[in-house]
Amino acid sequence: MTFRRLLAIALLSLACTGPDAAPKASQSVARFSVAENATSLASKPGGTFELHVTAAIDSGWHVYSLTQKSGGPVPLSISVAPTEVFTLDGAPKGPQPTVKVDPTFGMDTETYDGTPLFIVPVRIGTSAPSGVHTLDVTVRSQTCSDWLCLDPKTTRLTVPVTVAAR
């Protein structure tokens, strides 16, 4: 009788955790992209512009905020690879996160879901040559549902930006 019970539990577990229970490694439940054509954000050397990065987060999932406190989940981070042409010009900003106590982490967590928009301030170097340049943006996030957290993921975005003549 014990063997039959164990077999029933094992079969029930397999049915509940079948192939569609969690996203596959190749799937993403949070996708990041540039919200507008950055080539229209042309600025002169020494100038600044705001890059808009959007997230598309599947229903039932969330990412942790830019301001998530340490000691728990991995907070969202958005960075610009510093070059002679582009540098980050301040901290990226996002919408007001949802704050709630997460019993898994034993702390308040700050999350975004849906399609949040993030503003990334970028400065163009004073000696940047005019023309189209590639801006490299890195987004790091951890995505969780109410029952599962995925490993942190790094997304790289490349954006063509026009630097105007002085």
Superfamily covering domain 23-163: Thiol:disulfide interchange protein DsbD, N-terminal domain (2.60.40.1250)
- Residue 165: per-residue pLDDT: 86
Q: What span, in angstroms and rounded, lies between the C-alpha atoms of 59 and 56? A: 9
Consecutive 10-residue runs of the chain (166 residues): their mean pLDDT?
43 39 64 75 86 97 97 96 96 98 92 98 96 96 94 96 88
Q: Indicate the pTM of the whole model.
A: 0.81
Identify whether the C-beta of residue 93 lies closer than 8 Å to the C-beta of residue 66.
yes
Q: What span, in angstroms and rounded, lies between the C-alpha atoms of 123 and 45? A: 8
- Residue 43: per-residue pLDDT: 83
Identify whether the C-beta of residue 34 lies closer than 8 Å to the C-beta of residue 55.
no
Q: Where are the domains of the chain?
A: 23-163
